[in-house]
């Protein structure tokens, strides 16, 4: 199985609404269907030897072998997910990624923006509903995983803050706040710290006392909302 390729761009061309590149990799020429953005990106390079790296999906049929290439692994993985949906072929997947960025597609799926998805040629209402149904849970899970990774990396880079938050966790437990509420609180608190939208979170004022006070405010507001 071919996962990615690194080589020299020989040429690129367009046939109807499909975009292709030919890559020389160790003396072999690989013809790959790709996105228009990939070709534009490579053609802006000023070096005479235009080296390119693409993540690949190999689709083998009875009468053909096809390679599809993408700049990022996330694009390639999304393409694989969408062509695994019943009734959706490779060209629908490529058309969707040609018209919109991966972030735009993920936001549309999360926000149930059927109009954006169905604006792609070849995608009708029934197919749009199928895409929403099949991919929404996967997109949400991926977003949660990314947020957790970002949170973890942020704490690794801020050892002092990480230590303060651990002390706050123990303090809140000793004050008999429910463990689940405490667990749900910390991503919100970390987001507020990263955004620095609140006056109490100015760089010089981050301390155990100020963060504990804000944590308790979060918890009190949450308890009030649940009671209503």
Token pair, residue 84, equals 């695994």
pTM to 2 decimal places: 0.63
Torsion angle of the four alpha carbons 82, 84, 145, 178, in this order, in degrees rounded to the nearest 10: 110
- The answer to whether the beta carbons of residues 19 and 42 sit under 8 Å apart is no
Q: How confident is the model at residue 199 (pLDDT cuts 50, 70, 90)?
A: very low
Residues in the chain, how many? 228
Residues 6+ apart with CB under 8 A from 127: 87, 88, 92, 118
Task: For 38-72, write each residue's pLDDT tens digit.
Answer: 888 777 665 555 788 999 999 988 888 899 999 99
Task: For 67-105, write each residue's pLDDT tens digit.
Answer: 999 999 989 999 999 999 988 999 999 999 999 998 899
Q: Which CATH class is domain 4-70?
A: mainly beta
Task: For 217-226, write each residue's pLDDT tens digit.
Answer: 878 776 655 5
SS3 30: strand
Token pair, residue 6, equals 């690194």
pLDDT at residue number 96: 94
Give the bridge partners for 20, in sequence order. 13, 33
Q: Please state, in angstroms and as integers, the Cα–Cα distance from residue 183 to each residue in 18, 135, 171, 173, following that order.
A: 48, 27, 13, 11
Q: Which CATH superfamily is domain 73-139 in?
A: 5' to 3' exonuclease, C-terminal subdomain (1.10.150.20)
Closest of 195, 196, 187, 198 to residue 222, by C-alpha: 187
User: Which of 26-35, 139-148, 162-171 has the highest average model confidence (pLDDT)?
Assistant: 26-35
DSSP-derived pairing of the beta strands 18-25 and 51-61 = unpaired
Per cent of the chain over pLDDT 90 is 32
Closest of 32, 26, 175, 116 to residue 12, by C-alpha: 32
Token pair, residue 221, equals 């507001």
CA atoms within 13 A on the CB side of 77: 8
**Statement: residue 202 has pLDDT above 70:** no
**Statement: residue 200 has pLDDT above 60:** no
Residues 6+ apart with CB under 8 A from 185: 172, 215, 218, 219, 222
């Amino acid at each position: 199985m071919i996962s990615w390729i690194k080589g020299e761009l020989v040429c690129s061309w367009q046939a109807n609404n499909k975009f292709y590149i030919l890559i020389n990799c160790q003396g072999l020429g690989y013809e790959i269907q790709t996105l228009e953005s990939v070709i534009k990106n490579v053609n802006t390079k000023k070096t005479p030897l235009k080296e390119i790296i693409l993540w690949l999906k190999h689709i083998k049929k009875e009468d053909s072998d096809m390679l599809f290439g993408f700049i990022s692994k996330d694009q390639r993985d999304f393409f694989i997910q969408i062509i695994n949906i019943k009734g959706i072929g490779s060209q629908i997947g490529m058309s969707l990624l040609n018209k919109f960025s991966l972030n735009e597609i993920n936001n549309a799926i999360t926000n149930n923006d059927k109009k954006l998805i169905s604006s792609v040629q070849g995608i009708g209402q029934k197919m749009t509903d199928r895409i929403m149904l099949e991919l929404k849970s996967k997109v949400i899970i991926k977003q949660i995983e990314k947020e957790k990774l970002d949170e973890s990396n942020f704490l690794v880079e801020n050892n002092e803050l990480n230590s303060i938050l651990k002390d706050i966790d123990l303090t809140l437990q000793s004050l008999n706040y429910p463990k689940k509420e405490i667990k749900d609180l910390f991503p919100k608190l970390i987001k507020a710290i990263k955004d620095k939208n609140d006056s109490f979170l100015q760089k010089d004022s981050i301390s155990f006392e100020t963060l504990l006070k804000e944590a308790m405010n979060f918890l009190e507001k949450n308890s009030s909302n649940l009671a209503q």
